[in-house]
Amino acid sequence: EPVADVFDALMSERPYKTAWTVEKTLDYMREQRARHFDPNCIDAFFNQLDNIMAIRHRFADRVESVSI
């Protein structure tokens, strides 16, 4: 199941879209339980959400200022 990939894609800014908020992302993932995502995978994801958010914070993309 692409649960982690979808979470990362929605939470990340891309050239073609802005990043979703945590609340919007988690609401979407809950709504897609048993539709797009296997319920067991979503349950496992939410059971580890504190760890997932800590890892995401630790390895967050860092934007550096560049002088030209």
Query: Does residue 9 lie within any of the structural domains?
Result: yes
Q: Is 54 exposed, middle or buried (0-12, 13-18, 19+ CB in 10 A)?
A: exposed
64 occurs within a structural domain: no
pLDDT, residue 63, reads 54
Domain that holds residue 40: 3-58
- Which pTM value belongs to this model? 0.80
27 falls within a domain: yes
Residue 68 lies in a domain: no
Q: Is the pLDDT of residue 64 over 80?
A: no
Instruction: Give backbone dihedrals phi and psi of 52, rounded to 5 degrees, phi first.
Output: -60, -45
pLDDT score at 36: 93
pLDDT of 67 reads 57
pLDDT single digits (tens) 5-57:
999 999 999 999 999 999 999 999 999 999 999 999 999 999 999 999 999 98
Q: What is the pLDDT of residue 27?
A: 98
How far is it, in rounded angstroms, from Cα 54 to Cα 40?
A: 22
Number of domains in the chain: 1
